[in-house]
Structure 1
Amino acid sequence: MNAALAHPADGMPAVRGKLTAAAPLAPLVWFKSGGAAEWLFEPKDVDDLASFLAALDPAVPVMGLGLGSNMIVRDGGVPGVVVRLGKAFGKVEQVDATMLRCGGGASGILVSSSARDAGIGGVEFLRSIPGTVGGFVRMNGGAYGREVKDVLVECDVVLRSGERKTLALADLGYTYRHSNLPEGAIVVSATFRGHKADPAAIQAEMDRISAEREASQPLRSKTGGSTFKNPPGHKAWALVDAAGCRGLRKGDAQVSEKHCNFLLNLGNASSAEIEALGEEVRDKVKAQSGVTLEWEIQRVGVAK
């Protein structure tokens, strides 16, 4: 579709980036399953995003998409507009001796590597989260004892109305894997603060984290990462294991035998099968332990 053209017949605003109708989302998410976005918008820059959202019918839902690592896209697809930030939003810049300003589309690997090169420690854990800054900020992403709330100074967002706003850490109301970021808001950048550290020591910590992930997680599979939140006082994987769910299957959807808080698509599993398997696991854990597991994976769109 020609990005320079408006879409008056569809009631869609003009864009300078790329706007695609009925865009398949399965290739863009880790599970490789699910339906299409009604519209997929890849803005050229922040101005393009802000003007598009300002002109878009307020009734049209908007959702951000990063690397699609922690997400089930349901088989009926996602109504409205899915916003995916590209290279223009992937830059990481050093602000001072301990701070980095990172685009909403920058990956955790790029952020942690840039921090290492700048001699900034404290953000090594982002190396282990397969996502982008926008997703980290929205979900208070974390691993290995650290969370985004421990390093975030502020973030710049474009609200659903098209208004640009800078939000401080306190504005986000962070709890475990949750923020109060408004519905439809897109995080376009974030500033993280670490501490001065030796680049070699930072690299050593990143290597330790990488090796630990490799040993314990099914990294080369079609998966969605950690499926359920850790309940207070428990590890989700241990509850799943105790309920006898390690290796449990529904069609081509399976509970990982390597790390049973991960669901896998072994081949051609539908999103419905993956989600139904997750619900079966929740039922079995509830029956076995009395604990109700909460989904950590975001489930979006409509069932087919």
Structure 2
Amino acid sequence: MLRFDDLQLFVHAADLGSLSAAARVMDMSPAVASAALKRIEAQLGARLLARSTRSLRLTAEGEGFLEYARTALASLDEGRRLLARGQDQVSGVLQLSAPSDFGRNLLLPWLDEFQREHPQLTVRLLLGDRIADLFRQPVDIALRYGEPEDSSLVALPVAPDNRRVLCASPDYLARKGEPRQLEQLLQHNCLLYMLGTRVHDHWQFNDGKRELGLTVSGNRFSDDADVVRLWAVAGQGIAYKSWLDVAGDVQSGRLKVLLPGLMCERAPLNLLCGHRAQLSKPVRLLRDMLSERCAMLSKLYPGKQ
């Protein structure tokens, strides 16, 4: 296969009438230039340039091949410009996966705004709480809470300081009472989240001096984090949720944060992808917007940081 730089050298040599001048233009030594010309002539099976110590001219075969070489180089150059323009534009298809709760209640309106700013962009969104298989599912990036278990994935922080909070509706607290100590959670109906077959019923905290843990129980389980939030808003029990997922409910008064003096578990939000080549301009802009919006919500976090 003919090499791009060999074609360039041949065209420059034909235009300048000198192989050494072509070598200087391409910043290579005369010996390398001579080897390149021999290589392309060997691949074509024809002599392109007639050379002597003082002169250089195109052979008949070289004259016939020159225009094809110019056309090929021009076509490749146009292709590179098209790629450069595509990488600079915010267009194409953005395929992403996001957690159910975060996706429905925060990401959807943010994506609406993002697409209004970039109308040439198409979004393909998958919602779910299972870890997306970025090598099998039709997604380029995934937003996920927690540290990635697969070390081969590229993980970029979106909300590194996000934490969980204990929360319940005013209606539930009016009926069942508000817990004032961690142990009192054992007397309450706790709304539990499942990931696969694992039930997240061991809730962890820190009182500033030591780590605390409590295994709770309740009469409702779901593998959809948004369902757990909706149960809490409906007054069905106490939830242990990511602050990002319930910040709007807390601000509106639909939920109340409990035991704010305790530091709850970390729940960092990361953007995951299979390799850095997938970090296109739309992905980078989306991550910047999400990081900014999440940082604003994190400032409202009521517990200890």
More helix by share: 2
The higher radius of gyration belongs to 2
Asked if Structure 1 and Structure 2 have the same fold, meaning a TM-score greater than 0.5 normalized by the shorter chain, the answer is: no
What TM bracket, shorter-length normalisation? under 0.3
- Give the TM-score taking structure 1 as reference length: 0.25
